[in-house]
Amino acid sequence: MSEIAIRAQGLCKCFGETQALAGVDFEVPRGKVLGVLGPNGAGKTTAVRILTTLLAPDEGEAWVGGHHVGRDAHRVRELIGLTGQYASVDERLTGRENLLLIARLLGQSRAQARARADELLGLFGLTDAGGRAVRGFSGGMRRRLDLAASLVGHPSVLFLDEPTTGLDPRARQDLWQLIRGLVAEGVTVLLTTQYLEEADALADRIVLIDHGRVIAAGTADELKAKVGARSLVLLAAEEDQVAQLAALLTEITGRAPLVEGRRLSVPTSDPSLLRVLVRRLDEAGLVVDELALRSASLDDVFMTMTGRPVAESA
């Protein structure tokens, strides 16, 4: 396999009038994790569907493991595992039967299939639930089974399309741990997510997608550096002071802050602004519940690049 595990070049895709992808390029070196980050409808799933041979692009080309996704689709399918945005396991079978089905389809013998199914059930903490119909699984169990199902054939490239959407924080942490384990074994991962925290926690590199275009790319630190290394964050004591505080922050930093309820944040590269801010708050007689200068988050990056927070466009 070549050193570049996944390569997308100028991918375009329209569905009727809607342009889902408008020229997307990226590369994922072998054994690395790429986080594709963006709000709902940004084109993340369309990109995954093209790379996993489920959809033909209108323009552009893509290769997985050195094989062209259109011309060598079968070879690509032999390399990949896909965990979709919606758990694509059969609800009417048991967890174990789902894994057996996939193993048998991949040409494993009955004995091999049974061994692989039991191994994966154990690895994903589903041994006890393996004999029950998937219909009765919790969301977290279902996602774990879905991930297990995509690993039956020992894929070297794994596509995870919003693997933790809708999961509670505990189940999300569990799944992250499993994904880290796979990466440690050398699996290349492309992960889409709308959670900035998730991309930050798992990805070596991140591409930010919005309206079908890559608007920024780099490591999490590089992206944060683009915006300013730090953020000024403050929590207004009173709801009706938020507008006044926002105006003050804009005046000091030259940037409109991101406002979420009583919380305001604005990226900055100048630590001395904190001192200025404290003085101006004092002069204006404003009281805040919290005031901090912290490392910039990917929220700040997205806000700076698009002019709106991730959650707002979801």
| 180 near other proteins, rule: CB under 8 A | no
CB nearer to other proteins: pick between 145 and 252: 145
> To the nearest whole angstrom, how small is the minimum distance from the Cβ of residue 269 to other proteins?
41
Minimum CB distance to other proteins, residue 272 (Å): 50
Closer to other proteins by CB, 1 or 247: give it: 1
**Binding status of residue 106 toward other proteins by CB under 8 A:** yes
Kindly identify the residues of this chain, within the stretch 2-21, that bind other proteins according to CB under 8 A: 13, 15, 20
Residues 114-133 as x/- pattern, contact with other proteins by CB under 8 A: -------------------x
Which of residues 98 and 194 has its CB atom nearest to other proteins in the complex?
98
Binding to other proteins by residue 270, rule CB under 8 A?
Answer: no
Q: What mask, x for binding other proteins by CB under 8 A, covers residues 66 to 105? A: --x-xxxxxxxxx-x-x-xxxxxxxxxxx--x---xx-xx
Q: What is the 3-state secondary structure (H, E, C) of the chain?
A: CCCEEEEEEEEEEEECCEEEEEEEEEEEECCCEEEEECCCCCCHHHHHHHHCCCCCCCEEEEEECCEECCCCHHHHHHHEEEECCCCCCCCCCEHHHHHHHHHHHCCCCHHHHHHHHHHHHHHCCCCCCCCCEHHHCCHHHHHHHHHHHHHCCCCCEEEEECCCCCCCHHHHHHHHHHHHHHHHCCCEEEEEECCHHHHHHHCCEEEEEECCEEEEEECHHHHHHHHCCEEEEEEECCHHHHHHHHHHHHHHHCCCCEEECCEEEEEECCCCHHHHHHHHHHHHCCCEEEEEEEECCHHHHHHHHHCCCHHHHC
Binding site for other proteins (CB under 8 A): 13, 15, 20, 45-46, 49, 52-56, 68, 70-78, 80, 82, 84-94, 97, 101-102, 104-107, 133, 149-150, 153
